């Protein structure tokens, strides 16, 4: 039965990727209305995060930002689904790379790289595009649904060399010691002991220290991958931040500051849909 459901869902996602992009930017389209009803909980989380992080900004500014995030969310659903299903059409996206020699040199020297990034609503497409250019491995939080997990993994492996669970630290260590480059998003609350309390937009949050440990164990480089959506594609920016990990707390404080600076440049593209403060301020999501 699961195989039948899997085939049906894969076929459906492929069908969506052939629909006109404009359907996902038209508020009057049936798909927009359907997705809006299905994602009401996510909009509540977005609103809570924006009001919490930007409490000093006026109400109109915050409401405009929430609406912009909401509109981009539907476009992102299309583009991320497209990333999981596209063949050669993916080459139609224009990509700019700034300081790419930082990653090229590390890979040429067979150095392990933990490629740190901020979560973006366009993450899946960005990951597909960067993996088309460089040899990249990834880690993920497995979906609770076995069927959805298979679809997710199938899409991500379109261009990535390998995937592992975010709890499989031993695999990450092995890859890094072998000189591989692994994508890692440190800006979510994983609610585990491998975290410390830091700040994000001057609000307390739980931040993972796994990258600090991985660097200490494997001697890998820490490179920050920043990316922004442009008018006709994406821009990727590389920065060697290996020096920020002198201690667990130092790493957490510094990576949050770096990510906050990135978010400030394009706040509507950040993934505000997750409960970033669920451990330190769960009441804001009630």
Distance from C-alpha of 127 to C-alpha of 73, rounded to nearest angstrom: 17
Tokens 């990576």 -> residue: 255
Is the separation of the CB atoms in 204 and 252 below 8 Å? Answer: no
pLDDT mean over 86-98: 87
pLDDT per residue as tens digits for the range 146-188: 777 787 788 788 889 999 988 888 999 999 999 999 999 999 9
pLDDT per residue as tens digits for the range 52-82: 999 999 999 999 999 999 988 888 888 888 8
CA distances from 276 to 4, 47, 120, 209 (A): 36, 12, 13, 15
- Looking at every residue in the chain, the average pLDDT score rounds to 88
Give this prediction's pTM: 0.89
pLDDT of residue 14: 52
């Amino acid at each position: 039965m699961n195989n039948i459901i899997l085939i049906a869902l894969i076929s459906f996602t492929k069908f969506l990727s052939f629909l006109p992009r404009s359907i996902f930017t038209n508020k009057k389209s049936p798909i927009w209305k359907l997705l809006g009803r299905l994602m009401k909980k996510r909009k509540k989380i977005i609103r809570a995060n924006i009001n919490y992080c930007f409490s000093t900004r006026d109400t109109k500014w915050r409401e405009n930002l929430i609406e912009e995030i909401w509109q981009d969310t539907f476009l992102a659903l299309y583009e991320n689904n497209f990333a999981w299903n596209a063949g050669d059409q993916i080459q139609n996206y224009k990509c700019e790379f700034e300081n790419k020699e930082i990653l090229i040199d590390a890979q040429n020297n067979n150095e392990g790289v933990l490629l740190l990034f901020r979560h973006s609503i366009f993450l899946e497409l960005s990951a597909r595009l960067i993996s088309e250019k460089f040899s990249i491995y990834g880690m993920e939080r497995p979906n609770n649904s076995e069927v959805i997990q298979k679809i997710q993994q199938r899409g991500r492996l379109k261009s990535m060399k390998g995937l592992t669970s975010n709890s499989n630290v031993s695999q990450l260590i092995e890859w890094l010691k072998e000189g591989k480059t692994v994508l890692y998003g440190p800006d979510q609350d994983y609610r585990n002991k491998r975290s410390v309390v830091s700040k994000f937009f001057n609000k307390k949050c739980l931040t993972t220290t796994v990258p600090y440990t991985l660097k200490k164990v494997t001697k890998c480089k820490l490179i920050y991958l920043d990316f922004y959506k442009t008018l006709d594609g994406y821009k990727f920016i590389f920065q060697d931040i290996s020096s920020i990990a002198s201690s667990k707390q130092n790493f957490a404080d510094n990576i949050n500051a770096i990510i906050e600076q990135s978010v400030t440049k394009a706040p509507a593209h950040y993934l505000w849909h997750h409960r970033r403060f669920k451990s330190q301020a769960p009441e804001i999501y009630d």
